[in-house]
Amino acid sequence: MSIAAKANALWEYANPRKFLSTSERVMPFFWMASAVCIVVGLVWGFFFTPDDYKQGSTVKIIYLHVPAALMAINCWLMMLVTSLVWLVRRHHVSALAARAAAPVGIVMTLIALATGAIWGQPMWGTWWAWDPRLTSFLILFLFYLGYVALWEAIEDPDTAADLTSVLCLVGSVFAILSRYAVNFWNQGLHQGASVMRTAAVTGADTEEKVSNIYFYPLMLCIVGFVLLFIALVLYRTGTEIRVRRIKALLARERVSG
């Protein structure tokens, strides 16, 4: 199959009926797989890994904090892609997918901020610091709230999709900063990016790496959060499509009546 043919086949899923039928078939897999990965990862991480030589048992909050933080950022980037598809191709499913993902992103950002505060208090001696990554993450959270509020404030769905897509483009700057802030600025309390870097349990630079003994359950939790995110977005997008159809039917009845 040529690239053009594959692209055309992919665009078929922009059809609401095609999207609904496909998502209903695959959602059970994502729900079950995410539950298995998250439960096994959390049980493995919390009960079968030792305390860190430096951070003690508080290090185990990594199994919630890191997956939630990664999904909070990647959720916004997914919204950026679907918003661009809407602006270029005017496919309503893409706009509704972005809208459906936003509340999921809010929850993920809240989990990341809350677990970060719980983790940071014993490590830094404070619940909050105006660290580059923390600050950019807080701004990203405010962008999420603004995105949802803008959708709710505008009655015309196409206008709302246009304006929220522009907002998504602007907010992407802070999504990128949230991911790479520790690389842009050397100062700050938050450790550097270390999820894909492994080390022994003890060592001179362990604070910048994830120990092998924590790495594998952490990866399992991350995979679980990714699968959960996909399941939630598919479910919520399907709900948005059905709500849009109901509103269209009611509008037609009012006009005909």
Token readout for 196 is: 């894909």
Q: What's residue 202's pLDDT?
A: 44
Which of 31, 28, 6, 10 is closest to 19 using CA atoms?
A: 10
- For helices 157-184 and 92-124, angle between their N-to-C axes, nearest 10 degrees: 30
Residue 197 CA neighbour count, 13 Å, CB half: 9
DSSP 61: G
Q: How far apart are the C-alpha atoms of 195 and 64, rounded to whole Å?
A: 13
The whole-angstrom separation of Cα 64 and Cα 67 is 6
Contact 175, 182 (CB under 8 A): no
Dihedral angle of Cα 128, 146, 73, 204, to the nearest 10 degrees:
-10
For residue 180, the model assigns a pLDDT of 66
For 3-18, the DSSP string reads HHHHHHHHHGGGSHHH
CA 128 to chain centre: 22
Geometric angle at alpha carbon 232, from 226 and 238, rounded to 5°:
135
Contact 77, 213 (CB under 8 A): no
The pLDDT assigned to 206 comes to: 41
The beta strand positions in 178-219, using DSSP E, are: 198-199, 210-211
Annotate 107-124 with three-state secondary structure: HHHHHHHHHHHHHHHHHH
The pLDDT averaged over each successive group of 10 residues in the chain (257 residues) is 54 80 95 98 93 81 95 95 94 94 97 91 81 84 96 94 95 76 53 49 47 89 98 96 87 75
pLDDT at residue 44, as a whole number = 95
pTM of the model: 0.85
Q: Which of 184, 163, 162 is nearest to 173 (CA)?
A: 184
